[in-house]
């Protein structure tokens, strides 16, 4: 799950660079580039958490003989539900923010701040701070090569 942490960290780092306003053409371009970067991380995150292999691993944990392992499986399942929900909300925010850039730039600051706050509250406070659960590797190298389509993210996963 360290790969999931990498994606969440990437989203938080990108959001820290979001301009406060999108009045000038340069600010609008910078905002679009950041939204594209966030979308790329969200796509990779979605590939990781919606992969059918995860369900197989989770089922193995849920049927383990040790109660402690079964409880951990339940916690991981809840975490993944949170991540799935976050991806849905993130997608809506990104669509809304893209539209705001062109149609209503005055709304940018408030909406962008709401997105940053939502992510921080859900997954970690300070930029780069990852929850303990994300420190564990979930997928083997060959699985990552099958699952992740972003060459940049795959290279980063395999480096760690």
Is the pLDDT score of 127 beyond 70?
A: no
Is the pLDDT score of 142 beyond 60?
A: yes
Contacts of 150 (CB under 8 A, 6+ apart): 40, 43, 44
Predicted pLDDT of residue 25: 94
Predicted pLDDT of residue 71: 66
Residues 62-80 as b/e (b if ≥16 CB within 10 A, e otherwise) read eeeeeeeeeeebeebeebb
60-70 pLDDT, tens digit per residue, is: 777 777 776 66
C-alpha–C-alpha distance, residues 50 and 86, integer Å: 13
- 90 in Cβ contact with 82 (< 8 Å): no
C-alpha–C-alpha distance, residues 116 and 114, integer Å: 6
pTM higher than the cut 0.85: no
Among 54-58, 87-91, 114-118, 129-133, top mean pLDDT goes to 87-91
Tokens of 134: 């994300």
Angle between helices 67-103 and 52-62 (to 10 degrees): 150
C-alpha–C-alpha distance, residues 58 and 77, integer Å: 7
Give the pLDDT mean for 102-122. 87
How many residues are given for the chain?
Answer: 160
């Amino acid at each position: 799950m360290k790969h999931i942490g990498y994606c969440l960290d990437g989203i938080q780092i990108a959001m820290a660079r979001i301009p406060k306003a999108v009045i000038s053409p340069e600010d609008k371009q910078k905002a679009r580039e950041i939204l594209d970067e966030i979308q790329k991380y969200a796509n990779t995150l979605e590939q990781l958490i919606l992969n059918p292999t995860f369900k197989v691993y989770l089922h193995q944990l849920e049927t383990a003989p040790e109660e402690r392992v079964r409880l951990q499986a339940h916690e991981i399942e809840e975490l993944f539900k949170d991540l799935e929900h976050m991806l849905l909300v993130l997608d809506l925010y990104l669509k809304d923010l893209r539209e705001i850039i062109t149609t209503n730039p005055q709304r940018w600051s408030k909406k962008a701040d709401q997105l940053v706050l939502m992510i921080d509250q859900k997954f970690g406070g300070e930029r780069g701070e990852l929850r303990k659960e994300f420190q564990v590797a979930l997928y083997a190298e060959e699985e990552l090569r099958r699952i992740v389509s972003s060459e940049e993210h795959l290279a980063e996963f395999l480096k760690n």
